[in-house]
């Protein structure tokens, strides 16, 4: 057993010691001595504080000591520590659409897992699989894309719960390990894991192929976005991504729905379809899309219509408000961008606008494929050195302490019992002297 | 062994006389001046001869010198039966370790009995004790002292009013000595004594007080009445001051009351003076007081 807040246990022990000491100090009526002329002494009551050689009222003392210790132990939050094992495993099993065969993931996970280990299935969000001996067979491949950052966070949380029972914890990632699984936070989260990570490769699904990045821009020749696309080197003809600066037509929508194509509607002026004017026009200092960030004061005039169908946000203003949204249409998607590009200034020449265009011109999310993770990323993900020591893992924020209610209940029971026991004990002193017979002659 | 215990007492009172404070009424010859004028050798005065006088009392030499017939009048002396009343109740058993009050009381009682008997007075004693009470009729028998010594070899204790025994003792004699701490039925005693003294009898009140009652041990915080154990009082420093004032005032009032009743009052404190001086103060109040103060 260990205590999460042992200071309270020490306080309880100090209180119990104080109770023992106080039971040696008793206030009682002193022993009376004979004096024939006592009638001449004025009437009053007396108590004397003295030190008893033996503690008074041992049963009451025992109850008080136990109650103090129980309350101290309850506040100290005892936790039963199970028998420690050398190593436990936390297995992150990728069940995203990027996995070719889910059976491979199941088999790989089954070989790694033992009693006391933890299994976390993840795609875009992690979920811990309890009773994996039975649940492993029910793992299903999902249609979402794999994201490692939330899975690693879940692994850290699970490791916090396992750390008390093991000496070391091994993190195993069973995944196709595509580049799309990484995001800007993955390396930072990985750095929180204080040990090496084992990477178990499984086959990737066939459609996770890296598409070509290119945008066909339909705009005036002097349009700033068209110029920026040319400067960034992503302007292409007949690309899978069509960017319209003018009014889109039905044919444009049909074109996007017919295949894995993205139609980007980015009007020069006016609100994009499905957007409405903001109540207050303001200025945002930056807009972010994926890894691209454009830092430039831009007017913010429109906002998405909340009545519209659920949208995926592909770009956000610096305060988090959507700046561009995507809607699936047929096999493709339509992307509406509400980022005004000023006609003056050097914005169109900045590389950051080109990066923003790349991000806004990315293939639709549903058809997004991914290349394999770069070797450097894999090396960074796996790391070197020993397994993560349990002491190096942060303890959980909340620890269940099932003993606390029992301890408090026992202390409450003793507190209720104490007055009953005290009442049944012999009095420490005799009757009070305050009511005395009237004095006789001479003592007036 | 009683004689051995009280031998120092008898030695201490050797030679002490205990004259009556007033003329005695007894007709039995004794050491005290009687109210009756008689024909003893103790010449008092001449009185003219009256018809009926004993001719043997005529002083013929005076007749020869004066040509007048006078008879010699002499002083009669009589005995004065004495009863000594000893308070042997629990309040006299103080301090508990030594019972010094009871010891002083019985030594005074035996000493006075010895003085009285030595002068030829019948002496008796009443011991007031709930269980070991004894009464000795006034006698001049040689063994009466020994009997009294044996009778007082008891421990004081219990509670019993003194007035009934006192009244009984007053019926048996013309001189009564009350030896007590007067912490019991003092009013009843005083009333009986007043009546006794008003009848021309001799009454002595010997007030026994222990040093521990005059100056209680300050370390003892809670004190109880030995005759009434339920009566307990704490002796804090302020309470001590009040106690000393009250107790002193009570002793003074007691002395005034007994003297006002016609008795002699003597305060005897344990361990303060030799027994002989105490006996002198009792038996000769005026000279005893001078010697004590001197």
B33, B61: one domain:
yes
CATH number at residue A93: 3.40.50.410
Mean of pLDDT values over A289-293 = 84
User: Does residue A413 sit within a domain?
Assistant: yes
In this predicted structure, the answer to whether residue A201 has a pLDDT above a threshold of 80 is: yes
Distances (CA, A) of A97 to A125, A148, A188, B115: 13, 14, 25, 135
Same-domain pairing of A359 and A300: yes
Burial string for B69-106 (b: 16+ CB within 10 Å, else e) reads: ebbbbbbbbbbbbbbbbbbbbbbbbbbeeebbbbbbbb
Please report residues of B whose CB lies closer than 8 A to that of A33: 217, 220, 222-224
End-of-domain residue from the set B37, B55, B78: B78
Report, as an integer, the average pLDDT of A229-245.
88
Distance CA B200, CA B35 (A): 11
Q: Enumerate the residues of chain B whose CB falls inside 8 A of the CB of residue A436.
A: 231, 233
**Predicted confidence (pLDDT) per residue in B4-56, tens digit:** 889 999 999 998 989 888 777 766 777 777 666 655 566 667 878 888 888 88
Q: Touching check for A49 and chain B: CB below 8 Å?
A: no
Instruction: Indicate the number of domains in chain B.
Output: 2
**Residues of chain B contacting A41 with CB distance shorter than 8 Å:** 223, 233-235, 239, 242-243
Q: B26: closest CA among B228, B174, B230?
A: B174
Q: Which chain B residues touch A if contact means CB-CB below 8 Å?
A: 90-92, 94-96, 101, 181, 183, 186-187, 210, 212-213, 216-217, 220-227, 230-236, 239, 242-243, 246-247, 249-250, 253-254
Per the domain annotation, does B292 fall within a domain? no
Domain assignment present for A271: yes
Placement of tokens 């992150």 in the chain: A92
Whether residue B47 is found in the same domain as residue B179 = no
Chain mean pLDDT for chain A: 84
Domain of B69, in residue numbers: 29-78
Please judge whether B91 and A36 are an interchain contact, meaning their C-beta atoms are less than 8 angstroms apart: yes
**B153 and B218 inside one domain:** yes
The region of weakest confidence among A22-26, A102-106, B134-138 is A22-26
Which residues of B are less than 8 Å from A32 in CB distance? 222-224, 232
Query: Are A244 and A316 members of one domain?
Result: yes
Partner B contacted by A42 (CB < 8 A): yes
Radius of gyration of chain B measured on its C-alpha atoms: 23
What long-range pairs does B95-104 form, CB within 8 A, spacing at least 24? B95/A34, B95/B210, B95/B212, B96/A34, B96/B226, B99/B155, B99/B156, B100/B210, B100/B211, B100/B270, B100/B271, B101/A36, B101/B156, B101/B181, B101/B208, B101/B209, B101/B210, B101/B270, B102/B155, B102/B156, B103/B270, B104/B208, B104/B268, B104/B270
| Per-residue pLDDT tens over the stretch A217-228 | 999 988 999 999
Contact A330, A257 (CB under 8 A): yes
pTM: 0.48
- Give domain status of residue B294, yes or no: no
How many structural domains compose chain A? 3
Which residue in B181, B217, B222 is closest to A32 by CB distance? B222
What pLDDT is attached to residue B117? Answer: 92
Residues B54 and B85 in one domain: no
Residue A357 CB partners (closer than 8 Å, separation 6+): A215, A225, A228, A229, A232, A234, A243
pLDDT (0 to 100) of residue B202: 93
Co-location of B191 and B71 in the same domain: no
3-state secondary structure of B136: strand
Alpha-carbon distance of B125 to B8, in angstroms, equals 20
DSSP conformation class of A372: B
Is the same domain home to A150 and A24?
no
Asked whether residue A47 carries a pLDDT value surpassing 80, the answer given is no
Residue A430, in any domain of the structure = no
Q: What range does the domain containing A51 cover? A: 2-80+402-423
Q: Is residue A429 part of a domain?
A: no
In a domain, residue B72? The reply is yes
User: How large is the average pLDDT for residues B263-288?
Assistant: 88
Same domain, A201 and A146: yes
The per-residue pLDDT for B50 is 86
Give the C-alpha separation, B218 to A11, whole Å.
42
Whether residue A5 is predicted with pLDDT greater than 50 in this model: the reply is yes
pLDDT of amino acid A236: 85
């Amino acid at each position: 057993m260990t205590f999460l807040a042992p200071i309270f246990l020490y306080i309880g022990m100090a209180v119990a010691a104080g109770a023992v000491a106080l039971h040696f100090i008793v206030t009682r009526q002193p022993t009376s001595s004979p004096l024939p002329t006592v009638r001449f002494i004025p009437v009053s009551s007396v108590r004397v504080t003295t030190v008893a050689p033996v503690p008074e009222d041992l049963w009451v003392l025992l109850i008080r000591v136990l109650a103090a210790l129980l309350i101290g132990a309850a506040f100290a939050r005892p936790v039963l520590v199970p028998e420690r094992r050398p190593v436990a495993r936390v297995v992150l099993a990728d069940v995203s659409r990027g996995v070719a065969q889910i059976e491979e993931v199941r088999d790989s996970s089954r070989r790694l897992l033992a009693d006391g280990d933890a299994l976390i299935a993840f795609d875009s969000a992690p979920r811990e699989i309890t009773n994996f001996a039975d649940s492993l067979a029910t793992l299903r491949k999902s249609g979402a894309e794999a994201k490692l950052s939330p899975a690693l966070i879940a692994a850290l949380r699970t490791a916090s719960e396992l750390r008390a029972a093991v000496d070391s914890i091994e993190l195993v990632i069973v995944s196709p390990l595509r580049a799309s699984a990484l995001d800007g936070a993955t390396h930072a989260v990985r750095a929180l894991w204080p040990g090496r990570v084992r990477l178990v490769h499984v086959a990737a699904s066939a459609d996770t192929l890296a598409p070509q990045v290119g945008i066909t821009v339909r705009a005036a020749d002097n349009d700033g976005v068209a110029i920026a696309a040319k400067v960034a080197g992503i302007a292409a003809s007949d690309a899978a991504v069509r960017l319209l600066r003018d009014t889109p037509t039905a044919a444009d929508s049909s074109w996007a729905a017919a295949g894995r194509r993205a139609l980007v509607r980015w009007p020069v002026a006016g609100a994009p379809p499905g957007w409405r004017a903001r109540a207050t026009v303001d200025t945002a200092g930056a807009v972010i899309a994926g890894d691209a960030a454009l830092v430039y004061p831009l007017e913010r005039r429109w906002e998405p219509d909340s009545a519209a169908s659920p949208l995926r946000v592909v770009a956000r203003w610096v305060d988090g408000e959507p700046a561009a949204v995507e809607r699936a249409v047929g096999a493709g998607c339509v992307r509406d961008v509400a980022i005004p590009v000023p006609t003056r200034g050097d914005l169109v020449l900045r590389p950051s606008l080109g990066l923003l265009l790349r991000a806004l011109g990315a293939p639709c999310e549903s058809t997004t494929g991914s290349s394999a993770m770069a070797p450097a990323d894999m090396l960074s993900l796996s790391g070197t050195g020993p397994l993560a020591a349990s002491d190096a893992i942060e303890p959980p924020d909340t620890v269940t302490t099932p003993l606390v209610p029992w301890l408090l209940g026992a202390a409450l029971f003793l507190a209720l019992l104490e007055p009953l026991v005290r009442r049944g004990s012999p009095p420490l002193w005799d009757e009070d002297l305050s009511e005395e017979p009237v004095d006789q002659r001479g003592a007036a | 062994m009683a004689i051995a215990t009280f031998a120092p007492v008898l030695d201490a009172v050797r030679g002490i006389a205990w004259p009556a404070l007033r003329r005695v009424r007894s007709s039995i010859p004794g050491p005290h001046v009687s109210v009756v004028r008689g024909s003893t050798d103790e010449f008092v005065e001449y009185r003219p001869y009256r018809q009926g006088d004993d001719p043997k009392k005529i002083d013929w030499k005076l007749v020869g010198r004066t040509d007048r017939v006078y008879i010699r009048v002499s002083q009669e002396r009589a005995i004065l039966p004495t009863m000594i009343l000893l308070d042997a109740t629990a309040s006299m058993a103080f301090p508990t370790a030594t019972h010094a009050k009871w010891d002083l009381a019985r030594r005074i009682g035996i000493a006075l009995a010895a003085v009285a008997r030595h002068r030829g007075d019948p002496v008796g004693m009443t011991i007031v004790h709930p269980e070991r009470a004894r009464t000795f009729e006034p006698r001049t028998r040689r063994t009466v002292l020994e009997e009294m010594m044996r009778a007082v070899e008891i421990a004081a204790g219990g509670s019993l009013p003194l007035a009934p025994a006192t009244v009984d003792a007053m019926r048996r004699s013309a001189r009564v000595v009350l030896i007590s701490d007067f912490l019991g039925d003092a009013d009843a005693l005083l009333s009986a004594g007043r009546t006794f003294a008003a009848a021309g009898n001799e009454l002595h009140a010997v007030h026994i007080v222990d040093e521990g009652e005059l100056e209680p041990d300050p370390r003892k915080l809670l004190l109880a009445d030995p005759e009434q154990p339920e009566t307990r009082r704490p002796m804090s420093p302020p309470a001590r001051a009040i106690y000393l004032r009250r107790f002193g005032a009570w002793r003074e009032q007691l002395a005034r009351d007994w003297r006002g009743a016609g008795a002699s009052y003597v305060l005897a404190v344990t361990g303060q003076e030799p027994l002989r001086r105490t006996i002198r103060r009792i038996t000769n109040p005026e000279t005893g007081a001078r010697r004590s103060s001197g």
